[in-house]
Amino acid sequence: MTMIAMRRRPIMGRTNADPRRIFLADSDVRPLWEVHCNISAATVNTPLTLPAQTGTRNRSRLAAMSRSVALMLVLGLAGCASVPQPQQILTPFFDDDFQTWKQSGPYTVTGQAFLKLPDGRTPTCAGGEVSLLPAVGYNTELEKILETGKGFPSNYERNARKYEYKALCDAAGKFVFTGIPALNWIVLTRIGWQEPSSTANSTPDMKGGWLFKELLVGDNRTTVTLTNPDFVADTK
């Protein structure tokens, strides 16, 4: 269930009621991770004060709404510790930082990406993409984020993509880049596989993560292998 944060708006348009009145959710809701989880238990447990002229029927309705809102706040507080915040890149993106990597070069990079699992299986990146990224500060922060196991940052600048080289993995997990200049790069790909489910009659569990490492291109033919030491598994 997706939790939302509520923006305060008084009921029935009253602005001079007791400040402890309950509030309704406004239309401009925000994801839970944008809330700082600073709602205190005292706030949740503050009793509802209704104007004296409120009718019996309205008082019952508003009291029920108050209980519902309090329950939502309690659930939100419970989720503060467990809902992970999406990863964000903080390094500013500047096109000028990437200009050196815009040139083409005479070099070829070949490689292979695979894992050795404890049960003897060797999943590869077969059919998936491999990216060769300029090793600028923006992308080295990307590496640090991927090392947390929380996935690709949601705010990765799409204009950074135009400086990438891309290749496809074959059935053995092998790939080739051509026309690469002699610079520092980050090679990056993803591998996924299935594990038997822990419960009977259910679908297999999907496992996976990112493989990446830094690479200096300088020889006519540079070879790179991405395997277990370069792997960061997804965290739940």
Query: What's residue 195's pLDDT?
Result: 87
Contacting residues for 19 by C-beta, under 8 A, at least 6 apart: none
Alpha-carbon gap, residue 224 to 236, rounded angstroms:
29
Q: What is the CATH number of the domain that holds 172?
A: 2.60.40.10
Identity of the highest mean pLDDT range in 19-23, 28-32, 42-46, 98-102: 98-102
Same domain as 123, residue 201: yes
Same domain as 132, residue 66: no
Does residue 127 have a pLDDT over 60? yes
- pLDDT cut 70: percent of the chain above it: 63
Q: Which of 185, 214, 179 is nearest to 108 (CA)?
A: 179
Same domain as 139, residue 64: no
Better-predicted residue by pLDDT, 14 or 175: 175
Same domain as 205, residue 127: yes
Domain assignment present for 86: no
Query: What's residue 86's pLDDT?
Result: 57
Same domain as 227, residue 152: yes
What is the bridge-based pairing of β-strands 107-113 and 221-226? parallel
Same domain as 115, residue 48: no
**0.75 exceeded by pTM:** no
Query: What's residue 80's pLDDT?
Result: 46
Domain assignment present for 90: no
| CB-based contact 30:2 (threshold 8 Å) | no
Take residue 39 and report the two structure tokens written for it.
Answer: 């709602």
Q: Is 69 left (phi over 0), alpha (psi -120 to 50) or beta?
A: alpha
* Domain with 45 in it: 4-80
Same domain as 125, residue 22: no
- State the amino acid at position 189 in one-letter form: T
DSSP alpha helix (H) spans, the chain: 41-45, 56-80, 137-146
Three-class SS state of 130: strand
Query: What's residue 38's pLDDT?
Result: 45
Domain assignment present for 201: yes
Alpha-carbon gap, residue 161 to 101, rounded angstroms:
12
DSSP alpha helix (H) spans, 27-55: 41-45
